[in-house]
Structure 1
């Protein structure tokens, strides 16, 4: 029972972070009340690898 409760709480926390990201930093706005969280999410997005348009076109040709 405890495992199920912890799994539900973890999934709610992850979904909350996703909703916060989509609602604020993804649109270029600051997260109200916790601007450090928005800054951390923006840094994580900048550090993530991205497929550029040229690479995407090469992948489609193969």
Structure 2
């Protein structure tokens, strides 16, 4: 029972961080009560690998 409670708490914390990121730093705004959290999220988002939508790595037969 303790394991399930800890996992659920972890899931809720991660969901709260994702919602905070989408609500503030993703749109270029500061988190009102925790600007340090917004700065940390922005730095992590800048380091995350992303796919270039105009990349030439997609084979010609698979383009839409």
Which structure has the larger Rg over C-alpha atoms? 2
Q: Going by fraction, where is helix more abundant, 1 or 2?
A: 1
RMSD: 1.5
TM-score (norm 2): 0.84
Structure 1 gap ranges (5+): none
Where 1:59 maps in the other structure, the secondary structure is coil
Deviation at 1:41, TM superposition (A): 0.5
Structure 1 residue runs of 4 or more that deviate by more than 3 Å after TM superposition: none
Deviation at 1:43, TM superposition (A): 0.4
Aligned residues between the structures: 61
Once residues 2 and 26 of structure 2 are traced to their aligned partners in structure 1, the CA distance between those partners, rounded to angstroms, is 34
